[in-house]
Amino acid sequence: MLNTNDILETIQMIQEENLDIRTITMGISLLDCIDSNIDRACEKIYQKIMKKAGNLVKTGEEIEKKYGIPIINKRISVTPIAIVAAACPGEDPVKFALTLERAANDCGVNFIGGYSALVQKGFSAGDKELIESIPRALSVTDHVCSSVNIGSTKTGINLDACKLMGQIVKQASELTADRNCIGSAKLVVFCNAPEDNPFMAGAFHGVGEPDCIINVGVSGPGVVRAALAKAPEANITEIADIIKKTAFKITRMGQLVGTEAGTMLGVPFGIVDLSLAPTPAVGDSVAHILEEIGLEKCGTHGTTATLAMLNDAVKKGGVMASSKVGGLSGAFIPVTEDAGMIDAARCGSLSLEKLEAMTAVCSVGLDMIVVPGDTPSDTIAAIIADEAAIGMVNSKTTAVRLIPAIGKKMGEELDFGGLLGYGPIMKINPNSSSKFISRGGQIPAPMQSLKN
């Protein structure tokens, strides 16, 4: 039965506290599009995406009007293109990126993810060719996003892939230096990448997923902060309970939208990713939640503990609201996309080292962090390896999305505009990691991998 107070509370969340459905993402399998002729494969891919996702944006808009719920992004994820490209040796994989761009434009979606490769245990046919093409692919497209999985708890970490990705991240920035290095902002490097993640830049449609599916990402940092502001004297146990109850309400909304979208489009509803994904807008910050709990500034001592509590409470509340919770789920800490993180980084309270500690207890990892343009590629590779190690040992997803700001130095800022935001260029440890990265090979899987 609908409760009038619940309805009014939801309206207030939407109007005043930045509650929204951050994305509905349609996952599409391209396995039946594989062809040894790259032109035929590209045409099959385009036709399938248009057939499945042609009405995705229209459906999202209809749900917005019906329920009054803002759906910020409509997106598509596809089978990792390296798998499709393996059937076309010697061809240029960028043709696939251009096909994805064409389909994204014609469908009207915000982003399309899946220009991806999974190389946690080594490179198979098509992987290296696709990875080496990523900077070019991202420089000639606007909507295509890319991801590479270089490690997992089961397999360990592919150090050769870390070294290569350090170079690729740098090249992606260099090729888009005239556009504020946007290329590397559309590229993420994973350990333990989930197959059903609806959020960009890391979304791809895993090989274990159905032919087509709808996944939903909800977000409401402002709602959580507003709920905590009403309980200034609560102890930390009570605060955790408030967050759980708020996450429950947010997730129910996501389940409603996902179920409705799946029914209207004739495809199964997959999961709700109940992550608190911030934006640069005032009142939509994960950092401000931590500060509401009692930190003077995000990054100070106690930040990791409060973030751990927040992440856990969000998951517990969401799991009670839906039996289909997946993706990443928890709290995101992308620096340039969070007004509170931006302020904390500017004043020096938040450092790269503190962010790394925070990633051990949050949903993703070192996300949307701007570093000096002259940062060596081996240093970027070592940062990727560090973050992958946290994910590998803790059996969790971690990721790195660094943006080397070509031509800029520490203390300057880079502004992407829109959802990607802006942020200060952060300090990097000047000591070299090149000898370690150049050793190559595979960091063995930890004891946690032996679960059978």
pLDDT attached to residue 355: 94
Task: Examine the domain organization and report whether 38 and 77 are in the same domain.
Answer: yes
Helix residue spans in 3-108 (DSSP H): 4-16, 38-53, 56-67, 81-85, 94-107
pLDDT tens sequence for the chain (452 residues): 444 455 445 555 554 445 778 889 999 999 999 999 999 999 999 999 999 999 999 999 998 888 888 888 899 999 999 999 999 999 999 999 999 999 999 999 999 999 999 999 999 988 999 999 999 999 999 999 999 999 999 999 999 999 999 999 999 999 999 999 999 999 999 999 999 998 988 999 999 999 999 998 887 788 888 889 889 899 999 999 999 988 888 888 888 888 888 899 999 999 888 888 787 776 678 999 999 999 999 999 999 999 999 999 988 888 887 778 878 888 888 898 888 999 999 999 999 999 999 999 988 899 999 999 999 999 999 999 999 999 999 999 999 999 999 999 998 988 887 777 888 999 999 999 999 999 999 999 998 888 87
Indicate whether 185 and 231 sit together in one domain: no
What pLDDT sits at residue 16? 45
Shared domain for 175 and 234, answered yes or no, is no
Specify the pairing of strand 442-443 against strand 422-424: unpaired
Residue with tokens 């090249």: 171
87 falls within a domain: yes
Report CA-CA distances (Å) from 207 to 25, 30, 151, 402: 16, 9, 17, 27
Alpha-carbon span 418 to 186, nearest angstrom:
14
Instruction: Tell me, yes or no, whether 294 and 399 share the same domain.
Output: yes
pLDDT score at 169: 97
CA torsion sign, 131 to 135 to 139 to 140? negative
DSSP label of 225:
H
pLDDT at residue 18 in the model? 55
Asked if omega into 201 is within 30° of 0 (cis), the reply is yes
CA distance 340 to 371: 18
Domain span holding position 433:
216-438
| 168/238 same-domain check | no
Residue 15 resides in a domain: no
Counted residue by residue, the chain has a size of: 452
Query: What local confidence, expressed as pLDDT, does residue 13 receive?
Result: 55
- Buried-exposed string 21-44: b where 16+ CB fall within 10 A, e elsewhere: bbbbbbbbbbeebbbeebeebbeb
Task: Check whether residue 292 and residue 183 sit in a common domain.
Answer: no
Question: Given 191, 208, 224, which residue is the final one in a domain?
Answer: 191
Q: Is residue 164 located within the same domain as residue 298?
A: no
Domain count across the chain: 2
- The reported pLDDT for the residue numbered 417 is 76
Task: Provide the whole-model pTM.
Answer: 0.92
Nearest partner of 338 among 291, 392, 271, 389, judged by Cα: 291
E strand segments, 389-448: 398-405, 413-415, 422-424, 442-443
Q: Is residue 6 part of a domain?
A: no
> Both 101 and 47 in a single domain?
yes
Q: Is 443 helix (H, G, I), strand (E, B) or coil?
A: strand
Contacts 24+ apart (CB under 8 A), 235-242: 236/293, 236/309, 239/293, 239/309, 240/309, 240/312, 240/313, 241/313
Domain endpoint, select from 191, 208, 229? 191
Tokens (6 digits) for 296: 């003077």
Q: Are residues 123 and 268 in the same domain?
A: no
Same domain, yes or no, for 221 and 291?
A: yes
Quick check: is 173 in a domain?
A: yes
CATH number at residue 244: 3.20.70.20
